[in-house]
């Protein structure tokens, strides 16, 4: 028997509870993992609260991340005792995920836990931090260097934003953090932001082409924020878009792209191939300071997940929520 957060739906009504399940209820897959830590991401919050149709079949164990130890494997890729992590691949959406003490998954979805990180630290990074690393990798591959100018990070106090600031600061970039939480200014500067701006400067409808400011942008917000960020990006600047906290819409024009040569880079973390995942995790292992993880992380137990999901969807969470599934 093991504990898990279980989402079910009957007669159109969704229910969520901390359940006691039998291992025989786990989905069929070649590798079984004893989960040590998981996380609560914004997508998990949407799934648990039912605010968005994230879950594609019921019943479902949410949790798009986990880190733990392989217990049994019918695959040559993994052996019992291997320390592994998983980000994305549709777990917690179409396949039972990580907010549980046990998981059974496809071996191709697993990665070896970097030696530098404990399971808890890896989940303090989680999909949010790994997505931030994918953004930074994409910008750097496109030729972004610190001498090009300021880099804007939107949704700065969230998980993606917090890790993006830490990684960019380590690489020497001049970062401007956009946040709706004025009280988080000291926190964001402690991560490496040089300036903090109110998100209201970007979140309202704006002109299709505005004064040039940003050499690059990491955006996890979408909607008007992304549109204004693009409108303010400098000639041949770069915008990495990876989220939709404000909305899925993109009320913009083609002007920044055809008049300034701005590049909009779409960042997908769920189905990203191994050749993108490994460099991202290598950057995290090389550049992310353990002290930054201490500032970013909040640790909760499995029984606290449902309440925390309400908070993350309401925008009340700073940094990363790590879930000790055995607490």
For Cα atoms 185, 144, 157, give the angle at the middle one, nearest 5 degrees: 20
Q: Within a domain: residue 283?
A: no
| 261 in the same domain as 159 | yes
- Range of the structural domain that residue 24 is part of: 2-113+292-324
Q: Within a domain: residue 287?
A: no
Q: Within a domain: residue 276?
A: no
Q: pLDDT, tens digit, for every residue of 234-277?
A: 999 999 999 998 999 999 999 999 999 999 999 999 999 999 99
Q: Within a domain: residue 281?
A: no
| 134 in the same domain as 242 | yes
H-run or E-run covering 117:
none
| 250 in the same domain as 148 | yes
- Give the pTM: 0.90
Task: Give the pLDDT of the chain (327 residues) as one tens digit per residue.
Answer: 999 999 999 988 999 999 999 999 999 999 999 999 999 998 999 999 999 889 999 999 999 999 999 999 999 999 999 999 999 999 999 999 999 999 999 999 999 999 999 999 999 999 999 999 999 999 999 999 999 999 999 999 988 999 999 999 999 999 999 999 888 999 999 999 999 999 999 999 999 999 999 999 999 999 999 999 999 999 999 999 999 989 999 999 999 999 999 999 999 999 999 999 999 999 999 999 777 788 889 999 999 999 999 999 988 888 889 999 999
Q: Within a domain: residue 280?
A: no
Q: Structurally, how many domains does the chain consist of?
A: 2
| 253 in the same domain as 137 | yes
**Which structure tokens are listed for 201?**
């400067």
Q: 92 near 35, Cβ under 8 Å?
A: no
Q: Within a domain: residue 274?
A: no
| 72 in the same domain as 25 | yes
| 107 in the same domain as 52 | yes
Say which CATH number the domain at 30 has: 3.90.180.10
Beta bridge partners of 13: 10
| 91 in the same domain as 51 | yes
Q: 64 near 91, Cβ under 8 Å?
A: yes
Say which CATH number the domain at 162 has: 3.40.50.720
Q: 281 near 130, Cβ under 8 Å?
A: yes
| 296 in the same domain as 257 | no
Q: Within a domain: residue 314?
A: yes
| 52 in the same domain as 140 | no
| 257 in the same domain as 213 | yes
| 155 in the same domain as 64 | no
Q: pLDDT, tens digit, for every residue of 300-314?
A: 999 999 999 999 998
DSSP labels, 233-286 = EEEEEEEEE---SSBS-----SHHHHHS--EEEE---SS--HHHHHHHHHHHHH
């Amino acid at each position: 028997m093991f504990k898990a957060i279980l989402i079910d739906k009957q007669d159109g009504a969704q229910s969520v509870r901390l359940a006691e399940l039998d291992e025989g209820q786990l989905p069929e897959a070649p590798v079984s993992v004893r989960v040590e830590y998981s996380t609560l991401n914004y997508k998990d919050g949407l799934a648990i609260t039912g605010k968005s149709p994230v879950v594609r079949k019921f019943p479902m164990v949410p949790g798009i991340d986990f880190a733990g130890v392989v217990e049994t494997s019918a695959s040559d890729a993994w052996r019992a005792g291997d320390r592994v992590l998983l980000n994305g691949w549709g777990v917690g959406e179409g396949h039972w995920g990580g907010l549980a003490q046990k998981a059974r998954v496809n071996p191709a979805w697993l990665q070896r836990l970097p030696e530098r990180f404990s399971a808890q630290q890896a989940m303090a990074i989680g999909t949010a931090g790994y997505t931030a690393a994918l953004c930074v990798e994409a910008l750097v591959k496109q030729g972004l260097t610190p001498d090009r100018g300021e880099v804007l990070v939107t949704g700065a106090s969230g998980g993606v934003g917090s890790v993006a600031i830490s990684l960019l600061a380590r690489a020497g970039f001049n970062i401007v953090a956009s946040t709706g939480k004025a009280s988080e200014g000291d926190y964001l500067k402690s991560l490496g932001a040089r300036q903090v701006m109110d998100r209201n400067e970007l979140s309202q409808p704006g002109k299709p082409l505005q004064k040039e400011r940003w050499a690059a942008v990491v955006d996890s917000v979408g909607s008007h924020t992304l549109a204004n960020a693009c409108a303010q990006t400098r000639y041949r600047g770069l915008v990495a878009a990876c989220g939709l906290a404000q909305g899925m819409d993109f009320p913009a024009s083609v002007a920044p792209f055809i008049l300034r040569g701005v590049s909009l880079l779409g960042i997908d973390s769920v189905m990203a191939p191994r050749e993108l995942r490994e460099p991202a995790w290598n950057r995290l292992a090389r550049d992310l300071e353990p002290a930054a993880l201490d500032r970013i992380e909040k640790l909760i137990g499995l029984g606290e997940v449902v309440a925390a999901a309400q908070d993350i969807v309401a925008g009340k969470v700073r940094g990363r929520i790590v879930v000790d599934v055995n607490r």
